[in-house]
Structure 1
Amino acid sequence: MSALQLRIAGIGVYAPGLPDWPQAGRALRGESVPDTSSLARPAPPLLPAAERRRAPETVLYAAQAAAEACAMAQCEPAGLPCVFSSTQGDIAITDYMCATLASAPLELSPTKFHNSVHNAAVGYWSIATGCEQASTAVSCWIHSFGAGLLEAALQVADTQAPVLLVAYDAAAAGALRSAIPFDCGFAVALVLAPAGQGSGPQLSLTPAEPGPASLPRADWAQALIARNACADALALLQALAGAQPVQLRIAAGGEFALSAQVQP
């Protein structure tokens, strides 16, 4: 695979102690220590009030981060193709559906069923923003952030136009916690653009040699990765928040990984 040359035009974050990119950037530079003990339910500005009320947390987290990234990039969401990546989709709804089907199948909520599909978040986003561009929903277990990054980067290389990447997951629920031990939400969004268009941090991606994925320096950031797989993005976000070039290894599925060269 040839190197994929990209520019980071916009960044959005919504996670415990990291309600937006400016605060996340300060924490990742070591200028503050965030309180990662809780995460409030967000109110994404691009979702109508009625949609915010009925949308599950996964949709709200994803839309909050996506709106921030689009605003930073000064891109109209309606014009951006998008890749939404999630380890599990909405595990709380999956748990509800399994429990209800086992105990009272005729009481299954149509709204819950509607929100259970893996591409629910990108569906809400596309409808709310009026986006008729291509949309992709990706899952690659605990390496979903890296897999989504690769998919979005390839689309940028193919079209030579910006693409919105959103990676998100929520806390696990019920019996499925034993297999998916996430206990918090996390969402990150990047607007990726061709390297030669505009200003902003530069990112070069190539296949990586075997080895462990890069980790952020701070203990609190490493702890978040253990609590939600999408927090894998924190190593890349830390590099984007810094002032020096950084070489990273990002897990992207099974034995495959990406070597990421970041030039802030």
Structure 2
Amino acid sequence: MTPLRAFIEGIGVIGPGLAGWPHAADVLTQRAVRDAAQTVLPAPAGLPPAERRRTGPVVRAALAAAHEAVAQSGRDAATLAAVFAASGGDGGNFHAICETLASAEPQLSPTRFHNSVHNAPAGYWSIATRAMAASNVLCAYDGSFAAGLLESLAQVSVDGAATLLVAYDTDYPEPLRQVRPIVDAFGVALVLAPHESERTLGRIEAHLSDADASAFADADLEALRLSNPAARALPLLDALAHRRAANVVLDYLDGTQLAVSVEPS
């Protein structure tokens, strides 16, 4: 496989005890201690009031990370192609739908239904930013971040245009949590460009590998990495936070991982 490369211009992060990329970078570099509080999901910016009221946690996590990354990049969100990656959708919404279907009056509300589709965050993003560029939505279970990164890098390399990657997953209530134990929301976004510029934060290059995925020696960070599919991005974020050249391996598929080399600017 020919290595795929791109230049990172913006980063967005939201998760348990991680309130944005600057704070996440401080936690990863041990300049700050992570508070293990639940993720605080803001109301999604840019949406009209009616749409804003209809959003659930998965949309709020995705849009919070995406808005931060695009703001840092200085690019116009409306012009960016986008890749949205998640292992599932809105778990709370799924649970509510199952309860309704099992009830004496199985009548779903339109809001429940349109929030149940896997591309709901991409749709809300297009409304919030008036984005008209193409967007892809994909799923690869616990390898969803790596799959999204691979797709984004391919788009940047082939199309020669900047692309927004957004990876996110939110918690599942019981009894779904017994088979999918995600207990909190996590979202990460990257703006990837084909060429270096004054906005460049670092260059990344990726290829498939059979090496083991990178893990943290710190027990708290390792537990966070494993707690949510989107949090599998943390080894890459750690290298970017430390602003050092590094090689990291991200969870992807059984027997195949994604190796990423990082060169800071």
TM-score (norm 1): 0.95
Question: Cα distance 1:211–1:105, how it changes in 2: closer, same or farther (>3 A)?
Answer: farther
Aligned-pair identity (%): 41
Aligned to 1:202: 203
Question: Cα distance 1:104–1:192, how it changes in 2: closer, same or farther (>3 A)?
Answer: farther
Within 1, Cα distance between the matches of 2:131 and 2:157? 21
RMSD of aligned alpha carbons: 1.4
Are 2:226 and 2:232, in contact at CA under 8 Å, matched by a contact in 1?
A: no
Structure 1 spans left out of the alignment, 5+ residues: none
1:98 Cα deviation from its structure 2 partner: 1.6
Q: Which moved more, 1:74-83 or 1:223-232?
A: 223-232
Are 2:45 and 2:128, in contact at CA under 8 Å, matched by a contact in 1?
A: no
Aligned to 1:27: 27
Amino acid at match of 1:116: S
Aligned to 2:243: 243
TM-score (norm 2): 0.95
Amino acid at match of 2:43: A
Within 2, Cα distance between the matches of 1:137 and 1:204? 22
Are 1:47 and 1:63, in contact at CA under 8 Å, matched by a contact in 2?
A: no
Are 1:150 and 1:252, in contact at CA under 8 Å, matched by a contact in 2?
A: no
Within 1, Cα distance between the matches of 2:150 and 2:115? 26
Within 1, Cα distance between the matches of 2:13 and 2:184? 14
Question: Cα distance 1:40–1:243, how it changes in 2: closer, same or farther (>3 A)?
Answer: closer
- 1:60-139 aligned at under 5 Å gives the runs 60-139=60-139
1:217 Cα deviation from its structure 2 partner: 4.2
Within 2, Cα distance between the matches of 1:79 and 1:105? 44
1:149 Cα deviation from its structure 2 partner: 0.6
1:197 Cα deviation from its structure 2 partner: 4.6
> SS in structure 1 opposite 2:166?
strand
Are 1:25 and 1:241, in contact at CA under 8 Å, matched by a contact in 2?
A: yes
Aligned to 1:53: 53
- Figure out how many residues of one structure are paired with residues of the other and give that number: 263
Within 2, Cα distance between the matches of 1:105 and 1:154? 47
Are 2:86 and 2:229, in contact at CA under 8 Å, matched by a contact in 1?
A: no
Structure 2 spans left out of the alignment, 5+ residues: none
Question: Cα distance 1:3–1:50, how it changes in 2: closer, same or farther (>3 A)?
Answer: same
Within 2, Cα distance between the matches of 1:83 and 1:197? 22
